[in-house]
Structure 1
Amino acid sequence: MQAIDKSKPVMVTGGSGYIAGWIVKYLLEEGVTVRATVRDTGLPEKVAHLNRLAESLPGKLRLFAADLLNPGAFEQAMQGCELVMHTASPFLLKGGKDPRSTFIRPALEGTRNVLAAVNAVSTVKRVVLTSSAAAIYGDLADGDAFTEEHWNTTSSETHQPYNYSKAIAEKEAWKINRSQDRWDLITINPTMVFGPALTKTTASGSVALMKQFGDGTARFGVPDFAMGMVDVRDVARAHIQAGFTPEASGRHILSAGEFQLLEIGRILKEHFGDRYPFPKKTAPKFLVYLLAPLLGTTRAFVKKNVGYRARFDNTYSIKDLNLTYRPLKETVIDHFQQLIDDGLVPKK
């Protein structure tokens, strides 16, 4: 149990990221001093939204350049901090031809480098790690009810490499945490994160997926794919609750419920009408399987995920972090409206 002093600075890695932006916003609203690390402070388009927040909110923000793969890059920003939130890790739907450099090295080596700095900076009392439900399961075929006691044992560098990277990075974090007794570790394990971004430069996979509902990519139908979903704003709140609730502990699945892709299309059509080519039907699994390489996925993924149903138990997150989840309908509508407002989907 660790009580964190809110008058001390809080460090947020990956500060320009999708989830981190909301964490920074909420901390600044509470008057907290935030030290946010970004890969390059010299790219104004990446940090403009953070600077705007700092100008309008009571807290203070300082940006630091830090690369996940650079040992020792985080110690300067961490000095004097009692709470560290490590959110920096790529979240993309496609890993390209080299998943090791895209996913695995940043997740694993980044975790090691940040926690090495935690071990070196004596003021740190607690680390909140942004993990993922992907560290809990690999494929929907792995089970029908997932809890915090489950671990992903089926992903690999060649099958579901993003999920694999999250699992091995979180396991490494718990291993490093157990090797000492000064700071405690709490992990946040969100299912698929949707909701409005604070910047249109985010590379989040969920933003890329939502754009497909507006640009016609999904107009002929979507796979029978169901997933746990959670609002990015609730994920940010969960990090803050985890950081400042002394008795909080362990892993936390975040999910507001399970939604099918076609259900997202129906929500959007109900709210935005026929202005956009939202999907109206489910594509047959055999067709999705055949076309998988052209759709940017693998046939192994389709075989083990399309057509399956799974439940993600959020009971512990509600109890331990006192979370209240937004309705998924609100999340979907707010997210698509943000894409319109930012020009990422044409206004019609």
Structure 2
Amino acid sequence: MPYLVNTSAPVLVTGASGYVAGWIVKKLLERGATVHGAVRDPKDEAKVGHLRTMAENSPGGLKLFKADLLEPGSYRPAMRGCATVFHTASPFKTDVNDPQADLVDPALEGTRNVLQSVNDTETVSKVVLTSSCAAIYGDAADCADAPGGRLDESVWNTTSSLDYQPYSFSKTVAEREAWRIADAQSRWKMVAVNPSLVIGPATQNAPTSESFSIMQQMGNGTMKAGAPRIGLGVVDVRDLADAHLHAAFDPAAEGRNIISGHETDLVEMAKTLQPTFGSHYPLPTRALPKSLVWLLGPMLGGLRRKFVSRNVNVKWRADNSKATRSLGLTYRPLDVSMNEMFGQMVKVGAFDD
């Protein structure tokens, strides 16, 4: 379904230097929008240089602003005069020392801070929240309890907590709080985008995302003996960026939206890389027995046995028809996304000793 990007007012993208945000910024600039990018440090060229290069080669314009998720009001200068806000800033990592401080506080307090600034900025009429399928489910086993055995937008994650799957818990509490704030007013509209695991090439050479950590393990020999068949959904980062623009500028967009192109697992994902990279990199070629993962997971990969029980050899199923139908989305083939992502990592030396 076609949409027209509103270029009459600036657009704010929080966490503009991030993996997903980079593609949102790129697509907005290509369509002539003026983008206000909120980042931790606008002077850190290693983090924002690629954004400046994008702007120099695009019809749109870019202004970078300093902002912090945990600093109330810090997004107001960046938001001034904007009609649309993309709130993408939120930590995506699973290996943390303090889940409350490292995950929940930035996600929850950051959402509060950004949306309070939206309430205080009368020019804003639309907010697109980058949530996650993690706010819908905690483990692949949760799919069995969903309507018809498939996750849909009516489902909320009730199995994650601060102690178990804290990243998923952080996304859940943050999205719930966002809807509470949005529903308490009537001036601006919010649409939530709920992607599965995001894959595909980045707009910068050194992206920080859990997706690249998984790909690193596939290519550096960590999974040489085999990979656990963890059920999950995946979506190409460029298709996800398109979904964000649809959510912002397509009048049909509303509510929550599952954005996921493929139902797969780690073994099937790795198999897509074999024809091109299999002879050069120690990619996993077989599935590890669940019993072995259950036994050794806590010692070797930090996989809790509860996680193994509820995710390994368990199919992940989700109904993506709402967003596909209302937003007119199409998804790239899995092998295209995987090979372009892995190929980029090879090019920048991600697997070099």
- State the TM bucket, normalised to the shorter chain: over 0.9
Q: CA deviation at 1:296?
A: 2.7
1:122 is matched with 122
- Structure 2 distance, partners of 1:312, 1:82, is 32
On the 8 A contact 2:264/2:316 being kept in 1, the answer is no
On the 8 A contact 2:219/2:283 being kept in 1, the answer is yes
1:106 is matched with 106
Confirm or deny that 1:90 pairs with 2:96: no
1:159 is matched with 164
- Structure 1 distance, partners of 2:265, 2:168, is 20
State which of 277, 281, 286 in structure 2 corresponds to 1:276: 281
2:337 is matched with 331
Q: CA deviation at 1:246?
A: 2.0
Q: CA deviation at 1:4?
A: 7.3
2:147 is matched with none
Query: Aligned ranges for residues 1-348 of structure 1 at < 5 Å?
Result: 5-92=6-93, 94-144=94-144, 145-293=150-298, 294-346=300-352
Aligned residues: 344
Listed one character per residue, the Cα deviations across residues 115-173 of structure 1 (whole Å, up to 9, x for unaligned) are 00000000000100000000001111112310111000110000000000001100000
Listed one character per residue, the Cα deviations across residues 78-131 of structure 1 (whole Å, up to 9, x for unaligned) are 011110000000111x23221111110010000000000000000000100000
Listed one character per residue, the Cα deviations across residues 24-52 of structure 1 (whole Å, up to 9, x for unaligned) are 00000001000010111221100111011
Q: CA deviation at 1:5?
A: 3.4
SS of the residue 1:28 aligns to = helix
On the 8 A contact 1:124/1:183 being kept in 2, the answer is yes
Listed one character per residue, the Cα deviations across residues 152-208 of structure 1 (whole Å, up to 9, x for unaligned) are 011000000000000110000000001100001100000010000111332100011
SS of the residue 2:208 aligns to = coil
- Structure 2 distance, partners of 1:234, 1:311, is 19
Listed one character per residue, the Cα deviations across residues 261-317 of structure 1 (whole Å, up to 9, x for unaligned) are 111221111222311101111111122122222303322211111111121111011
- Structure 1 distance, partners of 2:216, 2:267, is 14
Task: Name the stretch that deviates more: 79-88 or 319-328.
Answer: 319-328
Q: CA deviation at 1:330?
A: 0.6
- Structure 2 distance, partners of 1:46, 1:186, is 28
- Structure 1 distance, partners of 2:78, 2:134, is 29
SS of the residue 2:73 aligns to = coil
On the 8 A contact 1:84/1:127 being kept in 2, the answer is yes
- Structure 2 distance, partners of 1:327, 1:10, is 30
Q: CA deviation at 1:320?
A: 1.7
SS of the residue 2:309 aligns to = helix
SS of the residue 1:213 aligns to = helix
Task: Name the stretch that deviates more: 136-145 or 162-171.
Answer: 136-145
Q: Which amino acid aligns with 2:80?
A: Q
Instruction: State the TM-score, normalized to the length of structure 1.
Output: 0.96
Q: Which amino acid aligns with 2:23?
A: W
Which stretches of structure 1, 4 residues or longer, exceed 6 Å deviation after superposition? none
Task: Name the stretch that deviates more: 332-341 or 282-291.
Answer: 282-291
Q: CA deviation at 1:322?
A: 1.2
- Structure 1 distance, partners of 2:331, 2:106, is 30
- Structure 1 distance, partners of 2:132, 2:302, is 22
Compute the RMSD of aligned alpha carbons: 1.3
Instruction: State the TM-score, normalized to the length of structure 2.
Output: 0.95
Q: CA deviation at 1:21?
A: 0.1
Q: CA deviation at 1:345?
A: 2.4
Identity %: 50
